Amino acid sequence: MVRLVCAWLMAVMLAASVGRSARADSPIAVVAAEAVWGDIARQVGGPDVAVSSILTNPATDPHAFEASPMDGRRLGMAQIVIANGGGYDGWIDRLMEGGGSADRPVVLTVAALVGWRDGDNAHFWYDLSMVRAVATAFAADCGAIRPDRRAALQARLQQFLDTLVPLQQRIALLRERYHGVPVAASEPIFGLMTRQIGLTMHDADFQRAVMNGTDPGPAEVAGFEQDLAARRVRVLILNEQTTGPATERLDHLARGAGIAVLRVGESLPPGTRYQEWIGGVLDRLEQALAQGSARGPA
């Protein structure tokens, strides 16, 4: 059944590609796999792009997402496709591989751009250096399609990069204040940001198991729970988009021990710009670090 659906979607993409060639003065058709990359594309591209994002519902599990025929049609019409890569949105890779070779779109894969390797963290939007690289590459791709709009695209790119400066300054201040503070997380969703700030991450084996889609072993679970009970970490970080008995137990143990709990997402909230989203996350992280307590190694 899965093969039949994929074949149908590929056929839809091939049919749609007939209409991909647009007038020279038309906005560039852009399809982003995730809303966060779509938002960045809109900010950089402005009126020179028409952006459509596929994963826009924060309640959707990106790892379990299945593309629809409409998604196939959108990809077939795209001139630029932005994919996260790194195993995060493999469904779009499969669709692009089967889309034929004629008049293929430019594919900007973030993982390839930033040098991702198997086992690395693929939540790239939590690393501002990677976001800057994506925005810069996107502006260049758009300029190659519309050379007459290159100057305007570069101007908007610079405006976007300038808006990241206050966020980078916030991160630097947090690093100065909280470098080395121990934290724990149920999965590595926020790992790139904690690394920039210099937080010391506990229970990495537990997170690796979750990232690989397996259940953590008894030793990993026991070690994590002991870290919480003994207050060896100051903040517990949970994925707000995934809940269940295991994460709720960790939440309960942390709160009972006086450890702050920070829930972060992996999808841009609707109606929110990237800078606002990350700024809000940093606000809540700072509050959690200030409120949490940790006894240190025991």
pLDDT digits (tens, 9 = 90+) for 53-64: 999 998 888 878
pLDDT at 246: 87
pTM reported for the whole predicted model: 0.89
Domain holding 209: CATH number? 3.40.50.1980
In a domain, 170, yes or no: no
Q: Are residues 123 and 194 in the same domain?
A: no
Q: Are residues 159 and 62 in the same domain?
A: yes
Report yes or no: 57 and 267 within 8 Å, Cβ to Cβ.
Answer: yes
Q: Are residues 222 and 130 in the same domain?
A: no
What are the pLDDT tens digits along the chain (298 aa)? 444 344 444 444 444 444 444 456 899 999 999 999 999 999 999 999 999 999 999 888 887 888 888 898 899 999 999 999 999 998 997 887 755 555 789 999 999 999 999 989 999 999 999 999 999 999 999 999 999 999 999 999 999 999 999 999 999 999 999 999 999 999 999 999 999 999 999 999 899 888 777 889 999 999 999 999 999 999 999 999 887 888 899 999 999 999 999 999 999 999 999 999 999 999 999 999 998 665 544 3
Q: CA–CA separation, 231 vs 131, rounded Å?
A: 34
Give me 83's structure tokens: 């994919």
pLDDT at 9: 45
pLDDT at 120: 93
Q: Are residues 223 and 274 in the same domain?
A: yes
Q: Are residues 151 and 60 in the same domain?
A: yes
Domain boundary among 164, 192, 220: 164
Backbone φ, ψ for residue 50 (5° rounding): -120, 105
In a domain, 174, yes or no: no
Q: Are residues 124 and 244 in the same domain?
A: no
In a domain, 298, yes or no: no
pLDDT by residue (tens digit) across 84-137? Answer: 999 999 899 788 775 555 578 999 999 999 999 998 999 999 999 999 999 999
Q: Are residues 127 and 199 in the same domain?
A: no
Q: Are residues 16 and 78 in the same domain?
A: yes
Domain boundary among 130, 164, 198: 164
Question: Could you give the angle at the alpha carbon of 51 between the alpha carbons of 48 and 55, nearest 5°?
Answer: 165
Q: CA–CA separation, 223 vs 49, rounded Å?
A: 50
Report yes or no: 55 and 65 within 8 Å, Cβ to Cβ.
Answer: yes
Q: Are residues 193 and 284 in the same domain?
A: yes
pLDDT at 256: 95
Q: CA–CA separation, 205 vs 229, rounded Å?
A: 18
In a domain, 280, yes or no: yes
Range of the domain at 189: 179-291
Q: Are residues 14 and 154 in the same domain?
A: yes
Instruction: Count up the domains in the chain and report the number.
Output: 2
